[in-house]
Amino acid sequence: MINLAQVVGIIAEYHPFHNGHLYQMRNARALTGASYCVVFLSSYFVQRGMPAIYSPLKRAEAALRAGADAVFEIPTPFSSASARDYAAYGVSMLAGLGIPNLCCGTEDVSAEELSMLLDVIDEGSEAFQHSLREGLKTGLTYAEARVNAIAADLFQAGADNSLLLRTRELLSKPNNILAFEYARAARAERIPIRLTTVSRKGSDYHDPILQGDFSSATAIRSHILNGGSWDDLGRMVPRVAAEVFTAAPYLNPACMVGPIERRVLDQLYEGTALSSFSDVSEDLADRIANAEFREENYEALVNSLKTRQYTHTRVARALTHIFLGIRKSDLLRWKNAAREEAVAAASAEGRETGELPPIGAAPYARLLGFRRDSEALLSLLKQAATIPMVSRPAAAESLLRSPAARDLFQAEVHAADLWNSLCYGDNGTSLPSYLRQQIVIV
């Protein structure tokens, strides 16, 4: 008989799946003593503000064939969001299914260090917010201004110079930042998640060069998008994953320029403020509105718009959210979708509303796939779940009771349709409609 203590969760993009991901998966089991590994996978658009080059179903299949037991989907409005919103939503999905363990990859930070930092840092304090505002006024990026504010908090708490330097170093690295956000979200929302970290092996996150057995996803994507063969990646990608991707159509983000330009022009023609979309400030809205869109690919377009204050990732997310129609008001409403869903479900069943989910929680969990020999795990998760589990997208309408939850689901359907249209335009291959998709079983 299995129990939830034997389950560990991983929040990931697998863009695409490679040896480093397999290394983390194996260590997640070893370090937590878990028998089962459940992956919470970014959807059609990822946190860098780019479309995923492979569909979520193909990335889920690769993960399952490599050893994951089940894969759930993080919907696009949150998988393409800031590190804070992405992490908070992922953690809440684990909580919604009752999974007590989370393992995340880091460059070099431990769970103990993260806990120590959170003991000292108060991001809600007036002093912290003042430091943050002052940093932004000087032209720092949000990430840089936030690190400065954190350092100021630590200094006020009496931290020595070595800790201050260590903190600045830790929070300048992408995987460390995500780990910090996972820990912060769990603490802020009182979610009882045990966090375990696995140090990254091999190349740095952004390393563009293929090297050794542990090349970065960045380098692997570049190789594929430049016409390289999966046969050349035999040392870097598990064979079972490479076989999945070799046979799958992929999307080159370069094809985004034209569709984004049309979307921007449509919004301007209709008089819609670009700053109403998620991640788009007034200044960035002006830059986008005045862009000439002469670049041949998406990367070049993003680079033409970035500044000292607006990083590549921030600009890419802004463009993606304009393209997808994700507004700031939408994201705020969807952060409360789980609460609305819980109230609606209780009302429909004629019972008292129990303890409400935290703000930013997931209102449902869409299952992308599972291993046949892990059916006992699915039964356990269904019993433990406090949110609806969606295995057939077409059935979501009957499972979700609140307008906010249904709207979030429809936003995912819309994102899937747009990704599919881009994929078709790029290589002439059309995938099944989101509502007709079948879960992956291996």
* Measured distance CA(64)–CA(14) in Å, rounded: 12
* Measured distance CA(59)–CA(266) in Å, rounded: 33
Tell which residue, 8, 36, 68, has the closest CA to residue 238. 68
Looking at per-residue pLDDT, the higher value among 216 and 12 belongs to 12
Task: Record the tokens describing residue 157, joined without a space.
Answer: 């708490």
> Do residues 5 and 96 share a domain?
yes
Can you give the pTM of this predicted structure? 0.94
Q: What is the pLDDT of residues 403-434, one digit of tens each?
A: 999 999 999 999 999 999 999 888 887 788 99
3-state secondary structure of 212: coil
> Do residues 389 and 412 share a domain?
yes
Q: What is the pLDDT of residues 334-377, one digit of tens each?
A: 999 998 998 888 888 888 877 788 877 899 999 999 999 999 99
> Do residues 207 and 143 share a domain?
no
> Do residues 126 and 31 share a domain?
no
Say if residues 74 and 340 touch (Cβ distance below 8 Å). Answer: no
Which sign does the torsion angle of CA 365, 371, 375, 381 carry?
negative
Tell which residue, 21, 20, 11, 19, has the closest CA to residue 41. 11
Picking from 330, 352, 374, the residue at the C-terminal end of a domain is 330
CATH classification at residue 419: 3.40.50.620
> Do residues 370 and 434 share a domain?
yes
Q: Considering the domain boundaries, does residue 72 fall inside one?
A: yes
Grade residue 155 by pLDDT with cuts at 50, 70 and 90. Answer: confident
Task: Record the tokens describing residue 336, joined without a space.
Answer: 């409360």
* Measured distance CA(131)–CA(148) in Å, rounded: 7
Q: Considering the domain boundaries, does residue 113 fall inside one?
A: no
Task: Record the tokens describing residue 380, joined without a space.
Answer: 């356990």
> Do residues 102 and 230 share a domain?
yes
Grade residue 206 by pLDDT with cuts at 50, 70 and 90. Answer: low
Confidence check: pLDDT of 202 > 70? no
Transcribe 295-333 into DSSP letters.
Answer: -SSHHHHHHHH--SSS-HHHHHHHHHHHHHT-BHHHHHH
Looking only at Cα atoms, what is the longest distance across the chain? 62
Distances (CA, A) of 215 to 16, 201, 221, 223: 11, 9, 10, 11
State how many domains the chain has.
3
Q: Considering the domain boundaries, does residue 71 fall inside one?
A: yes
How much is the pLDDT for 85? 94
Confidence check: pLDDT of 203 > 70? no
Grade residue 65 by pLDDT with cuts at 50, 70 and 90. Answer: very high
Plot region of 407 (φ>0 → left; ψ -120 to 50 → alpha; else → beta)? alpha
Picking from 315, 330, 345, the residue at the C-terminal end of a domain is 330
Angle at 40 between CA 245 and CA 65, to 5 degrees: 40
Percent of the chain with pLDDT over 90: 69
Which helix (H) or strand (E) element contains residue 376? helix 375-384
